[in-house]
Amino acid sequence: MASQRTVTLRPSDPEVGEVVAAAGLTPRFDAIRAELEVPGEFPAEVVAEAERVAAQPLSRPERDESDLPFVTIDPPGSMDLDQAMHLERDGEGYRVRYAIAHLESFVEPGGAIDEEARRRGQTIYAPDERTPLHPPVLSEGAASLLPDEVRPAYVWDIRLDARGEHTAAEVYPALVRSVERLEYTAVQEAVDGGTDDERLLLLREIGDKRIALEQERGGAYLPMPDQQVEEVEGGFRLHLRPLVPAEDWNAQISLLTGIVAAEMMLEAKVGILRTMPEPDERAVGQLRRVARALGVEWAEGTDHGTFLRSLDGTDPKHLALIHESTVLFRGAGYTAFDGELPELVEQAAIAAPYAHVTAPLRRLVDRFGLALCAAVSAGTEVPAWVREALPSLPELMETSDRRAGGVERATTDAVEAASLADRVGEEFAAVVVDVPEGKDDGGALEVQLVDPPVLARAKGAAELGAEVTVRLTGVSLDEGRVDFEVA
């Protein structure tokens, strides 16, 4: 029977919570990397090539826009800065200039760095370290859009109308300079505090208008609480990181650029898209039935994207619905084409064609998409090295996605297990966020604990969305597993 205790699911304070000692977890993290074949140190020839091109780049854009005061917005401590932006009003509309790291200045097609990047696919993040896509002398140095440094970049120059719709766009190589490195929380605090900084006010204004357009298109945003493992002095701490609106505003600039890139590729009939099919009617109907059973209103005529944006992850019943709605977001992949358009061109969650082009320092595919779009924008031939790589990129990216996802899940499981290792027998407040096949017959439920913020399986019977008390019955550090039962 479900407990009647009140459960308040709020993002936990990252300064609060038990610190798990690093000594016990580091060997487990190393074992996870070995199991999932995460690359280790860069080969000597890759490091040597990176140091050479960092000191003497392969090329340098002729166009110079380093007088424009670009800024970057990233999480604290980031050094691999892919993007910088300059926003301004343009009559009744807006002008967005978005600078993206220009790796063509440093990566020679077929060279040692290129081959190693194809093997890695993307930067892989673990709580104790990250495994970069490119040698740090490039990704955190010569190619990174660090403040007060003139850097080569692809500049996306996008014009928007008063509603935030893009009306014209081009992309070209140029030299740029970031004048300031901003962080999400600082941006949010400034806006909430009534700042008169036009840069931040424009970010909010454009971001909100792009969010409204996304909703009009039927795009879907999933407000899933962000469970995060933070490295602190002496070990690691598990918490739910509070998401701030500034992250969504910033993401909308990146999404805008990816949408424009996809349109260029489709017009040229060559490119690589990030695609996802529309959820079928049965899946949407199932989610509607779950909402009805939980007593969460879903008005007739309201599409699933608008409904999901209305959910509050701090409400237990809404949280259960958020977890159940992942059934709508399946089948994402990369679709390459050359000469004939593919059958599926849209990314359903965005409700538009979309391409990855804004994170080349951390994701392999973006380097090829950027070079392709720059050629299309200039009316020149797509480079042969791009066309030759297109057929192989989907498999390379999907392989690296699986590896990165595996590392994230396994290392988080390890921290969860370690944080609960000495608490067997204790009881915890939780919310039931999944009941396999909709049954509550004593099978393995999925529950979200409140404190610590652990997502786990629990034996017992309870209804979806129920607020329950669960008892910790066992912990396996080697397997990163915790066992609960409904008390």
- pLDDT band with cut points at 50, 70 and 90 for residue 145: very high
- pLDDT band with cut points at 50, 70 and 90 for residue 319: confident
CA–CA distances in Å: residue 60 to residues 103, 143, 152, 173, 326: 11, 12, 7, 9, 44
**pLDDT score at 8:** 39
**pLDDT score at 234:** 80
Range among 166-180, 319-333, 427-441 rated most confident: 166-180
**pLDDT score at 437:** 65
Mean pLDDT over all residues of the chain? Answer: 91
- 341/466: higher pLDDT: 341
For the chain, the residue count is 487
Instruction: Check if the beta carbon of residue 72 is closer than 8 Å to that of residue 177.
Output: no
**pLDDT score at 312:** 84
pLDDT digits (tens, 9 = 90+) for 326-376: 888 899 999 999 999 999 999 999 999 999 999 999 999 999 999 999 999
**pLDDT score at 225:** 66
- pLDDT band with cut points at 50, 70 and 90 for residue 301: confident
pTM: 0.92
Does the structure show a pLDDT above 80 at 118? Answer: yes
**pLDDT score at 66:** 98
- Tracing tokens 């879903």 back to the chain, one arrives at 298
- Domain ranges for the chain, please list them: 49-272+339-418, 278-330
**pLDDT average, residue stretch 71-87:** 94
How far is residue 457 CA from its own chain's centroid? 25
Instruction: Check if the beta carbon of residue 195 is closer than 8 Å to that of residue 201.
Output: yes
- pLDDT band with cut points at 50, 70 and 90 for residue 420: very high
- pLDDT band with cut points at 50, 70 and 90 for residue 7: very low
Instruction: Check if the beta carbon of residue 280 is closer than 8 Å to that of residue 375.
Output: no
